[in-house]
A and B are shown apart, each in its own frame.
Chain A
């Protein structure tokens, strides 16, 4: 009797509409506590940056030389908002600058991540799908790019592009942003290319590909229904973790003075300004931009970790 009752209870579950792959992924991700915390923190940071013009009490370039290096929680001038995080050398409100800097840092990281993912996927897929000479050439080139020391090469390329006067005439003040996107793209696609190549190569040999070919599926169906969804998981995880790496790389370049140039604020060049401020102000100047980078990257790493667990097909029940 008990077995029959169980069967009866099972009935509605069985007759339910089948659950999609992404619904399953979302369900698994929701159980991952750290990933959820990461998602919430990251969401708040993105929201604050997007709404910067509404939230920021001051503009990011509003200078007040009489109130430079104000400490944390200092009151503003008569009838004006307080400087929650203090002010910088030129008396600009740090909190407002952080919000606007978030737009640039997150925006640059998003663009670079999308571009490196596309470029890496193209190179890796071409390598894995065509094989032969194309594969060897592309992979040797990838090896060479991986052997080049990352930070010095990125610094050299961005410094030589910066000195090209025609580029300066053409791009004007947005030059440093364009250069950094380009440079991080040039030196950032290799891991993804290797990943995609590996996954295409191993998928090509799988039985379910042969099976669907035997059932009469054409190239486009095999690519769209089988190859893409199956290699999507590692690509998404690596893009997520890559986003964090790009945030750090961009800040490092801006910190060293080879990235995005003031007056455009980024978390990295705010740290650069902090380093050049008198030592007694170093703590207040460096604390908040660094915490922004730290929390963003930590949140991203948590999300990436959760996604890895949620997307891994071997854990599927």
Chain B
């Protein structure tokens, strides 16, 4: 087992190394750099201005280790060896330095920006995960136990609809119906106009026993309720998206378990059907869900780009799309590499956990 873990971790590190190359290359693929379009949009911008901008952001340095021959004011300088932008970036990242933002919050460390956004995303994606699980697992079990019943067909139809309904449309329609027409929920954002703080600050106040954000004393409860009111629609939209797939998955896994010999044994022992299903069936049926949960962790932290965009929720997803739109390469690179890291290691954790929960699986 130990040697298996060591080998898998080693493989994951190598995998991440190649991923980091791809992420860096995709951004730097365009020969003109981030300022190429400036020239088209504004004919008064000259090549030398663009060169100066590139030099400012180190973009004149070679991508990979090689010769660096700068020209200052049209005069060629002697060539020197440069370790390359990619190598410099990777060594910095390995030391926990993701660089500073270019355009969104110029000069702010990328990690600081992420730390500021992360709680908002975790709050939304975490709640959506809980809602989806609470609804999906019972539905899945019920439709497996009552296979081919009306409920089963209804759940199948629901899953089909969920798969075919893109989140950006369900989101827009939810806003149009529940916010605009019925007026039940706000159309987006984190807090109401005039609120002194938002739900994340209020939660920080509560969990630090008043040490953080002491100015919120006495109104934390109201702020949390206001935040939940804003969260309701995005959480439901996001949960519906996951719910469809998960209920199908639970159903399939439960159907598999129902066929097993130990289920017949449990019934033969004279156990009540309720105990058979919930204790002997469900516990085994939930094991494959570990894999699905492992797959959702990167999304929990990476944020939901589309949902956050529709509801102007200031999380990691909205940050991703703004960083891309604003050519903030250090931020984009940081977000992508963190996301890839989470994918690789949550897959690994899922595999290992699976072995712990299900002793039938042998690793070699």
B interface size (C-beta, 8 A): 51
Among B169, B321, B339, point to the contact of A290 (Cβ < 8 A).
Answer: B169
Distance in angstroms between the alpha carbons of A10 and B164 in the assembled complex? 46
- Tell me whether A214 is interfacial, beta carbon within 8 Å: no
Q: Using an 8 Å CB-CB cutoff, how does the interface string of B302-324 with A read, 1 for contact, 0 for none?
A: 10011001100000000011001
Chief secondary structure at chain A's binding surface: helix
Give the interface segment out of B122-130, B140-148, B174-182, B256-264.
B174-182
Question: Are B30 and A283 closer than 8 Å at their CB atoms?
Answer: no
- Tell me whether A294 is interfacial, beta carbon within 8 Å: yes
* Known contacts A166-B31, A282-B180; A148 and B321 CB within 8 A of each other: no
Which chain A residues in 265-280 approach chain B with CB under 8 Å? 271, 274-275, 279-280
- Tell me whether A287 is interfacial, beta carbon within 8 Å: yes
**What's the nearest-Cβ distance from chain B to residue A236, in Å?**
19
Chief secondary structure at chain B's binding surface: helix
* Known contacts A153-B26, A256-B305; A147 and B19 CB within 8 A of each other: yes
Question: Are A290 and B173 closer than 8 Å at their CB atoms?
Answer: yes
Question: Are B325 and A159 closer than 8 Å at their CB atoms?
Answer: yes
User: Which chain B positions have C-beta within 8 A of A293?
Assistant: 166, 169
User: Which chain B positions have C-beta within 8 A of A246?
Assistant: none
Which chain B residues in 14-52 approach chain A with CB under 8 Å? 15, 18-19, 22-23, 26-27, 29-32, 34, 36-37, 39-40
User: Which chain A positions have C-beta within 8 A of B29?
Assistant: 157, 160-161
Question: Are A256 and B172 closer than 8 Å at their CB atoms?
Answer: no
Please give me the residue from chain B that is nearest to A159 by CB atom. B324
User: Which chain B positions have C-beta within 8 A of A258?
Assistant: 324
Question: Are A149 and B339 closer than 8 Å at their CB atoms?
Answer: yes
* Known contacts A286-B173, A286-B176; A166 and B32 CB within 8 A of each other: yes
Among B172, B306, B336, B344, point to the contact of A282 (Cβ < 8 A).
Answer: B172
Question: Are B30 and A256 closer than 8 Å at their CB atoms?
Answer: no
Compute the total of residue contacts between A and B using a CB distance below 8 Å.
140
- Tell me whether B168 is interfacial, beta carbon within 8 Å: yes
**What's the nearest-Cβ distance from chain A to residue B127, in Å?**
21
Question: Are A280 and B335 closer than 8 Å at their CB atoms?
Answer: no
* Known contacts A149-B302, A153-B336, A156-B26; A294 and B19 CB within 8 A of each other: no
**What's the nearest-Cβ distance from chain B to residue A32, in Å?**
14
Chain A contact residues (Cβ within 8 angstroms of B): what range? 35 or more
- Tell me whether A155 is interfacial, beta carbon within 8 Å: yes
* Known contacts A157-B26, A160-B27; A152 and B166 CB within 8 A of each other: no
* Known contacts A149-B336, A282-B176, A283-B177; A294 and B165 CB within 8 A of each other: yes
Q: Using an 8 Å CB-CB cutoff, how does the interface string of A6-31 with B read, 1 for contact, 0 for none?
A: 00000000000000000000000000
User: Which chain A positions have C-beta within 8 A of B18?
Assistant: 140, 144
User: Which chain A positions have C-beta within 8 A of B180?
Assistant: 279-280, 282-283
- A residues with a Cβ closer than 8 A to B are 140, 143-145, 147-149, 151-153, 155-157, 159-161, 163-166, 168, 244, 248, 251-252, 255-258, 271, 274-275, 279-280, 282-283, 286-287, 290, 293-294, 297-298, 301-302
A-B contact pairs, 14 of them (CB 8 A): A148-B23, A148-B340, A149-B302, A151-B305, A152-B302, A159-B325, A165-B36, A165-B40, A252-B168, A256-B305, A271-B172, A275-B172, A293-B166, A297-B163
Query: Top 8 A-B pairs ranked by shortest CB distance?
Result: A290-B169, A283-B176, A298-B164, A297-B164, A286-B172, A282-B176, A149-B339, A164-B30
- B residues with a Cβ closer than 8 A to A are 15, 18-19, 22-23, 26-27, 29-32, 34, 36-37, 39-40, 160-161, 163-166, 168-169, 172-173, 175-177, 179-181, 187, 298, 302, 305-306, 309-310, 320-321, 324-325, 327, 332, 335-336, 339-340, 343-344
Known A160-B30, A297-B164; 9 more pairs at CB < 8 Å: A144-B19, A144-B22, A159-B325, A168-B37, A251-B166, A252-B166, A275-B172, A286-B169, A297-B166
